[in-house]
A and B are shown apart, each in its own frame.
Chain A
Amino acid sequence: MATCWSKMNKSSSILKRSSLLGQSIPWQPIKMGAPLSARASSWWSGVEMGPPDPILGVSEAFKKDTNPLKMNLGVGAYRDDQGKPFVLPSVREAERIIAQKGLNKEYAPIGGEPEFGRLSANLAFGQGNEIVSSGRNVSVQTISGTGALRVGATYLAKWFPGNKTVYLPRPSWGNHTPIFKQSGMNVDGYRYYDPTTCGFDFNGAMEDISRIPEKSVIMLHACAHNPTGVDPKDEQWKEMSQLVKKRNLFAFFDMAYQGFASGDVDRDAFAVRQFLEDGHNICLSQSYAKNMGLYGERVGAFTVVCKDKEEAARVNSQIKILIRPMYSNPPVNGSRIVSEILTNTALNKQWLEDVKGMADRIITMRQELKDGLANEGSSKNWEHIVDQIGMFCFTGMTPEQVEKITTEFSVYMTKDGRISVAGISSSNVGYLAKAMHAVTK
């Protein structure tokens, strides 16, 4: 992601040349068939082609492939066992209820409806938690998880009194880096994934964290780490929490899969709640894209846990000042669905079942893939497929193997060997096992 910045430096010198040219060309209305002079006098001649997004690029290529057996294991969006997008029954019911209410379309408050913020914080921290009841959280609605991270990054870039560097796990979601960089934060990392075990490099992480300069920001994936699917065990989280405290680091949690990882919203919030229990005043980004299937409605929340109510009021006022010049106030269609589900007892129950259903299907596919590879006769250790959790699986395949599986079997995934388990179904898991075995044996 650093490449787009170096390109920008190049492009400005190109622009100088073209504007010099531009000054000698008289201005006139565009006529058809005058592309050469048009290009020279256009403002945009210096704009370079940006790097293609590795994830979205996979979907593009997949669409063009005519192989009937093709599989898209790229973008992380849940698919049912027929490979189709899934609108949750609880969501559908919530939409019907909301339609009856005849709500208006007036602007939401800048930070969204306070109730939505409160419900989101309670979902993350646990019903009856002390933080929400004492009013010391700032919880604003954001444009899904990306928006929450961006608001958070912008807020930290302006107000964080320590070292304006965020330490991301290695690897992390590809979009974390540009979000923080474009907000004005520096980005660095700590060891996380161990390619030799396809598991968590706990010792490496602890070593690196102990060397992070005090008063820096550390990003933690609350559950279902993206892209690896590798999560620390409970005991490891406890040790990490103590170390983060000792180093006086500010913890920024990204929770995009609460409920979606294990099927249990409380289990998936373990790390967040552990840190709160240990006294960290964290900040948190939440997404409802996956766990409520509300992807395109862009519903998320950003929370800052403050010292007390008075501090929360100040922080809230500053966050609003950052949101207004970004998009003024958030879209409500999705957040109304979330609020309806979280306040309606029957719907909430339905939702918990829906999300468990999704998580269970994923867990089943993991098992079937591992079994399938064994059936193909693979001698490799594929334990990590079932040890990892959530939507994604870091298969351990090399870029060359990925290239091969794509060209020979039309199985599409990102170069890092990451597959979206959501893209696997009972009808194609056998084919995938065959393909993976073929390129890795």
Chain B
Amino acid sequence: MSEFAVVEAAPPIEVFQLSRDCQADTHPQKINLGVGAYRTPEGKPWILPVVKKAEAQLAKDIDAETINHEYLPVLGLDSFARAATSMVLGKDSPALKEERAFGVQSLSGTGALRNGAEFLFRQLKRTVFYFSDPTWGNHGLIFKNAGFTDARKYRYWNKDTCGFNFEGMIEDLQNAPEGAVIILHACAHNPTGIDPSQEQWGKIADVMQEKRLFPFFDCAYQGFASGDLDQDAWAVRFFVERGFEMFCSQSFSKNFGLYNERAGNLTVVVKDKSLIENMKSQITLIVRAMYSNPPAHGGRIVDLVLKDEQLFKEWCECIKVMSSRIIEMRQGLRERLEKLNTPGQWNHITEQIGMFSFTGLTPEMCQFLLKEKHVYLLKNGRISMCGVTPSNLDYLA
């Protein structure tokens, strides 16, 4: 009798099941609007030219024996962590000037969130966390697996207006217990694509300060949303200016196209730099028991690009290419829908930002699109704009 006879079959994860189903579909006009990975206008994955250059350089460095495959430090490549932290906080950040921010190289955004959540649970005994309704499907799982026991939502998406339920969010934060960890999307909210305005961020910060709530930013799209690194990091920097202590998880999956190399960073901002050594030592213990030290390749690529003036410039151009293609597709989709006199309002398609759009379609409509039209999207109505190309725009509309 096997030990594991008790193990139940787990439900498949929707977004990956969707990809599998789309792969298996033989319909010539099928469109995959599921997983959030950038696609070229031809619908192909894109390896950024600047990434290819960086990899070629790294290959030369290995031949020249200036780098090798040795272990990185537990908290990662120091140079990478500094560059990543500086990228999100801005090199003139008061937190950096005052030496009260540091980075931990992590297994992409997921790993950074997990490292942060583990630390908050184990060291600060936090048990309550909030995520937006809706949010990225993995947020709740990460925090629960890290030990958090009380998962709560703050209102965010208003399905009647296809807009931001700002009042609902504020009310829910007002009612949050002191010390609750609040997951905030730095920009390009996943899955809705709706971000608070600067004024709204101001009010969110007011409530969070008053109620002593802990901000944990998830920044997976810096540069990818508007094409401008500073603009996309505005909310994070604003909170730093306001004096918060906070975590920010960063992913380089989308903005560097490094999905499978798992390059990410956890930025930590504190009030008192004398506490940093203690904190690093505790994060070290968490990392050591999970994966010991991070994978080198992705981190090295990002490090190389961020530190080199020429490569950095080229990268900024790449993110402009990606973000503007998405913005074009949004415009294209909205135009066609309006031209076809499709019932409902479609301005949200262009008002939303980033990879995803919450169409406002019901689960039944999504099923119809899937079954009858071979358009693959999540049942909550989320589409990945990356899957939209000039050639399928008409069919989609």
Residues of chain A having any CB pair with chain B under 8 Å: 4, 8, 11-12, 15, 19, 22, 27-30, 32, 35, 38-39, 41-53, 56, 75, 77, 84-85, 87, 91-92, 95-96, 99, 102, 104-110, 143-144, 146-147, 150, 159-162, 175, 178-179, 181-182, 215, 250, 281, 289, 293-298, 304, 306-307, 311, 313-315, 317-318, 320-322, 324-334
Q: Would B7 and A327 count as touching, CB distance under 8 A?
A: no
Task: Enumerate chain A residues within 8 angstroms of B82, measured Cβ to Cβ.
Answer: none
Chain A residues, CB < 8 A from B285: 4, 50, 178
Residue of B68, B125, B260, B281 near A105 (CB, 8 A) is B260
CB-CB < 8 A to B289: which residues of A?
146, 150, 175, 178-179, 181-182
Q: Could you list 24 A-B pairs, sorted by A, with CB under 8 Å?
A: A15-B125, A29-B242, A38-B271, A43-B124, A50-B278, A50-B285, A53-B284, A77-B71, A85-B69, A95-B59, A105-B258, A107-B37, A144-B292, A159-B7, A161-B5, A296-B69, A311-B4, A311-B7, A314-B9, A318-B7, A318-B8, A325-B144, A325-B145, A327-B262
* Cβ contact of B6, chosen from A108, A161, A296, cutoff 8 A: A161
Which of B192-200, B295-303, B343-351 is near enough to bind chain A? B295-303
Q: Is B45 an interface residue (CB 8 A)?
A: yes
Query: Which residues of chain B come closer than 8 Å to A281, judged between CB atoms?
Result: 2-3
Mark out the residues of chain B between 130 and 180 whose CB falls within 8 Å of any chain A CB in the assembled complex: 138, 141-142, 144-146, 178-179
B336 within 8 A of A: no
Q: What residue in chain A is nearest B46 (Cβ atoms)?
A: A104
Q: How far is the CA of A48 from the CA of B111 in the complex (A)?
A: 23
Q: Which of B280-296 contact A (CB under 8 A)?
A: 281-282, 284-286, 288-296
Per-residue A-contact encoding for B230-248, CB less than 8 Å = 1, 0 else: 0000000000011101000
Which chain A residues border B210 with CB–CB below 8 Å? 27
Complex Cα distance A342/B53, Å? Answer: 28
- In the bound complex, do residue A311 and residue B5 qualify as a contact, i.e. CB atoms below 8 Å apart? yes
Number of residue pairs spanning A and B whose beta carbons lie under 8 angstroms apart: 267
- Within 11-55 of B, Cβ neighbours of A (below 8 Å) are at 12-13, 16, 35, 37, 45, 47, 51, 55
B123 interfacial by beta-carbon distance below 8 Å: yes
B257-291: which have CB < 8 Å to A? 257-262, 270-272, 274-275, 277-279, 281-282, 284-286, 288-291
Known contacts: A38-B271, A105-B261. The answer to whether A178 contacts B288 by CB under 8 A is yes
Besides A92-B62, A327-B291, 20 other A-B contacts (C-beta < 8 A): A30-B98, A38-B271, A45-B272, A46-B123, A49-B278, A52-B281, A102-B47, A105-B260, A293-B69, A294-B69, A295-B71, A298-B291, A298-B293, A298-B294, A307-B4, A311-B2, A315-B7, A321-B141, A325-B145, A332-B260
> What is the number of residues of chain B that contact chain A, defined by CB distance less than 8 Å?
88
B275 to chain A, nearest CB (A): 4
Q: A99-B55, A106-B260, A322-B145 are in contact. Are A85 and B292 (CB under 8 A)?
A: no
